Structure 1
């Protein structure tokens, strides 16, 4: 299927963009209702994304000079958590959008006119952007190795050929940042900004996952896709390429795990309501009155409290300019992912058979939170990075 992108519709007049996530329960309720249906049908959440566009959320991290909300990591993470509790597939697409737009604003390797265009289109049209990095043979580039996607020199710029996997949000993306290497004698590596609808792009609907079924994380095939010279970003010799942007690492850690902290919060809310209202005939009181149940709920609360405190601390440091190392952000990412998974597992244990019934949302929450494990850095890579940092750092006498 050719990648043409179903554009989000335009309103004749847009409201001023918010400086934080809109305090609109109806918005979250609508996204939650859409999310349940989209999960059942594995359909892309166009309606939910349209609602976020109309509320100004898709331009939340675009600089105010371009009409955006100018939000930093604190407000962006809050928005992702709120949406994650309603529909994590939509929230993951939002997390990528907010992270990429924040990154564009500080990316001096991208021409200023192009940065401004991408930001304004996010504000006025809800134009979505995400990266395409993973490949069938390479896996994630964070583990090393040259990408198999090749950029070949042409008279007008470059032509890309390759195969990418797990491109989240692909059916709705306007722009795709493709990691590739050049075909030069001494290859260089960098990103190439591709516009949906460019000839040679093809979407292969390969996403058939346990969780986040509506995220549209399909395969992208590229065959001689033309890219202008100005859309080649940050080309460096292959031996010098390393993805070690500490600010980007912090945004990734908090916004990606914010999706799953939102899922854990939704699981907690459902099971608390269930326990308050479940009155077994032989008990004569709700399950919530039992001390052992109260203690188990306390275990869920402890996971969520710790997650909020850790995330808030990291976000505050980033906004104050005290950006942690990529190794530290990776460790936080792994920890927050595990806490979200644990909170949902505890909720499932409390609800018993009801947790596995597809009539109840807890079954979906359990499936969705499993995806927290697979985002980079995965736990093994995060712990390896933290361990190496500790072992190579100076130790006080």
Structure 2
């Protein structure tokens, strides 16, 4: 039974109170998500019941700052939440992550106050999911979606792909290019039920099936001026790549912490290997397979990979909580290492258990498919390595200036 969420001790200005996240229930929530993960993976349905569970536990608004009436959990607790959710159901964890991250970054680049308070008020009533809609079928990272000025605000037309949670989103954080003489990139908060929005059921991926990351078509979708949350400035080309340096808004560090949900999935794979090792007793062996030296050797390899990756995620999260600067180079380097390690750990788990691990009746098969998505989130490894290497080269060349 779901226990009622407690509230923060003191309301923010305006009296809004958001639920305090029940972090003491994370193990219970992991177990509950794991029980339905196979069903959602098989059907490809949006996981409404699972998302409701997270809302009831106060997790979807855990990162809302105290100044807005939220609990304002730190980056370490955010990492803990994503690890726990990923350990239960990777798809549900990703949907939740896409809402938790915009809330976490409000301190650096806040939205218009009235707009944000409206969204938070809705969040007290039920799951209010957010996600960026940026990637496009033809132009990659964006540019083909156009925001046209109208007498009442803007009308937006375009097509987006890979919109995680599309069917269940309360708001799209829609990237568009303005039709001004000097075009600008802008981000609009578009209610999910707005006229002119069509969700195309195009999500037919190897894994992460219940994220329902469909394509979404926007046709003259009208938004008011108050729904514009950010201009990113005129479109321009730098002419050459420049490596990342400081990360004052924590954006790259949050990408690393977000990868923790896949690390949680890898921990679930490890859990299954351990369970199998102590419960499977082949007739010819007469004892659990975990007693074998090879089995324990591979277990050691898996633990080294996962514990090292976890230390990277929690270590950088802790530095952010202490107010220390984490450079983009550090965060991106850690992200590359974490994804390599968790992916390798799951591969080792599959090889250790053999062909049975790839049966659709085996949770390891689903986890193996899901973690293949860890490396496709931007910036992908090749782009990250280019930026990291360029930055390191720039650092070296500065000593001769």
Q: TM-score, normalised by structure 2?
A: 0.90
Structure 1 position 105, deviation (Å): 4.0
Partner Cα distance (1:306, 1:170) in 2: 34
Q: Could you tell me which of 86, 98, 102 is aligned with 1:96?
A: 98
Kindly report which structure 2 residues correspond to 1:268-287, keeping only aligned pairs within 5 A, or say none: 268-287=270-289
Q: Are the equivalent residues in 1 in contact too, given 2:5–2:22 (CA < 8 A)?
A: no
2:6 matched to which residue of 1? Answer: 15
Which 10-residue stretch deviates more, 285-294 or 110-119? 110-119
Task: For residue 117 of structure 1, report the CA deviation from its aligned partner.
Answer: 2.2
Q: Where in structure 2 are the equivalents of 1:353-372 lying within 5 Å?
A: 353-372=355-374
Q: How does 1:166-185 map to 2 (within 5 A)?
A: 166-185=162-181
Aligned runs of 1:63-142 on 2, under 5 Å?
63-108=65-110, 110-141=111-142
Partners of 1:231 and 1:22 in 2: how far apart? Answer: 36
| CA distance in 2: counterparts of 1:88 and 1:57, whole angstroms | 15
Using the TM superposition, give the Cα deviation of residue 134 of structure 1 relative to its aligned residue in structure 2, in angstroms.
Answer: 0.3
Q: How does 1:131-280 map to 2 (within 5 A)?
A: 131-141=132-142, 147-235=143-231, 236-239=233-236, 246-255=249-258, 257-280=259-282
Superposed CA offset, 1:106-158 (max 9, x none): 324x21222222233334422111100000112135xxxxx100000100111
SS at match of 2:53: helix
Q: Which runs of 5+ in 2 are unaligned?
A: 8-18
* Offset of residue 338 of structure 1: 1.2
CA contact (8 A) 1:45 1:214 kept: yes
Of the structure 1 ranges 265-274 and 227-236, higher mean CA displacement relative to structure 2 is found in: 227-236
Q: 1:81 to 1:25 in 2, by over 3 A?
A: closer
- SS of residue in 1 equivalent to 2:205: coil
Residue pair 2:166, 2:212 contacting (<8 A) in 1 also: yes
Cα distance in 2, alignment partners of residues 67 and 290 from structure 1? 54
Distance 1:18 1:304 in 2: 29
Alignment of 1:37 onto 2:33: no
Partner of 1:5: none
Count of matched residue positions in the alignment of Structure 1 and Structure 2: 380
Q: Name the CA shift for 1:124/1:62 in 2 (closer, same or farther; >3 Å).
A: farther
Q: Does structure 2 conserve the Cα–Cα contact (< 8 Å) formed by 1:20 and 1:71?
A: no
Structure 1 window deviating more from structure 2 (174-183 vs 24-33): it is: 24-33
Q: Is the 8 A contact 2:26 2:81 kept in 1?
A: no
Structure 1 residues 155-164 or 285-294, which shifts more? 285-294
Query: Does the aligned pair in 2 maintain the 1:59–1:126 contact within 8 Å?
Result: no
Partner of residue 391, structure 1 = 393
Corresponding position of 1:313: 315
- TM-score, normalised to structure 1, is 0.91
Counterpart CA distance in 2 for 1:246 and 1:331 is 17
